[in-house]
Amino acid sequence: MLLKDEVQLLRNVPCFSRVDPCKLKLIAFASARICYEPGDILFHQGDVADAAYVILRGNAGLFVGAGCGEIKIGDAGAGSILGEMCVLCDAPRAATVRATMPIEALRIGKECLLKVIADNPRMTSDISRSLAESLRDATALADRQPVRMPEPTH
């Protein structure tokens, strides 16, 4: 998969959809492409959030919970972005992400992501909107489900 294919995929990620293609190329270039085997961990709950991940291919499961047992709280497939919220608010990872099938992902470093957001005011509003949406959903579902990660929208 080449840089230009990655750019195509990035355009499908909601919060990047309105970013200038030229900038997307820059993001793709500044990111590292990493493969994961099924069972590999992208990041652990509680880790320092140092990067966001865009899944280019494959599927990952999101888990929360401590030692005794963990609860699966969602799935992420190709085109979803993971971990960007924790990067933005400088919080530790809220969930553990594990590959459920071979994954190819783009790892966007924290500094890089923050820089892109700062350079693209429109992106900021998109992110605020998706934050607000997930907050609303979470409030609505608070009774039934204690924790909920924002589902990737396609």
Partner 1 sequence: MENSLLRYIWNHTRPQQVWVLFIVLLSMVPYFAAFDLPKQIINGPIQGQGFETPDTTASFMAFDFVMPLTDWHINFDGIPLDRMSMLMALSGVFLLLVVINGLFKFYINTYKGRLGERLLRRIRFELVDRVLRFPPSALKQLRGAEVSTMVKDEVEPFGGFTGDAFVQPAMLGGQAIAALFFIFLQNVWLGMIAGVMVAIQVGIIPKMRRRLIELGRQRQITARHLAGKVGEIVDGIDTIHAYDTSNYERADIAHRLGQIYRIRYDLYRWKFLVKFVNNFLSQLTPFLFYSIGGYFALRGSLDVGQLVAVINAYKDLPGPLKELIDWDQARQDVQVKYEQLLEQFDPGVLIEPALQVVTPVAPANPGGALSAQNVTIADGSGARVVENVTVRIDKGETVAIIDNSGSGAEALAEAFGRLVWPVSGRITLGDVDILELPESVTGRRISYVSADSYFFHGSVKENLLYGLKHAPTTTVSYSGRDAINRRWEMHEAQMAANPHLDLNADWIDRRSTSILRGFSDDLKQSMLRALDVVQLTPDVMELALHSFLEPEDNPGLAERIVQMRHALRQALQEEGLANIVAHFDPAAYNPEASVGENLMFAATRTSTFGNDDITESDYVFEVLKVAKLFDMLYGMGLTIAEDLVEIFADLPPEHPFYQQLERITAADIAFYQQILQRRQARAGQADTEEDRRAVVRLSLHYVEPRYRLGVLTQEIMDAVVSARDLFYLNLPAELRNRIERYDPHRYMAAATLRENVLFGKLSNRVADAPAKIRQVAGRLMHENGLFESFIALGLDFDVGNSGRRLTLAQRHKLSLARALVRRSDFYILNRALPGLDKRVQEEIVTSVIDFLREQDNDPSIVWVLSNTSLSRLFHRVVVFDRGSVVADGAFEALDKESDIYKSLVA
- Hunting for tokens 């470093």 — which residue is that? 109
The single-letter code of the amino acid at 135 is L
Sign of the C-alpha dihedral computed for residues 19, 76, 85 and 125 taken in this order: positive
Joined tokens for residue 119: 């350079």
* CB of 63 vs partner 1, minimal distance in Å: 17
Query: Coil, helix or strand for 35?
Result: strand
Rg (CA), the chain: 15
Taking each helix axis as running N to C, give the angle between helix 121-140 and helix 110-119, from 0 to 180 degrees, rounded to the nearest 10.
110
- Measured from the CB atom, is 104 or 126 closer to partner 1? 104
Q: What is the full DSSP assignment across 7-30?
A: HHHHHHSGGGTTS-HHHHHHHHHH
What residues between 3 and 22 interact with partner 1 by CB under 8 A?
3-4, 6, 22
Which of 17, 18, 35, 48 forms a contact with partner 1 (CB under 8 A)? 35
- Measured from the CB atom, is 33 or 122 closer to partner 1? 33
* CB of 145 vs partner 1, minimal distance in Å: 30
| Other CB atoms within 10 Å distance of the CB of residue 116 | 18
- Measured from the CB atom, is 3 or 142 closer to partner 1? 3
Q: Is 42 in the site for partner 1 (CB under 8 A)?
A: yes
Q: Is 48 in the site for partner 1 (CB under 8 A)?
A: no
- Measured from the CB atom, is 85 or 103 closer to partner 1? 103
Q: Is 90 in the site for partner 1 (CB under 8 A)?
A: no
What residues between 114 and 133 interact with partner 1 by CB under 8 A?
115
Positions that interact with partner 1 (CB under 8 A): 1-4, 6, 22, 25-26, 28-30, 32-36, 40, 42, 111-112, 115
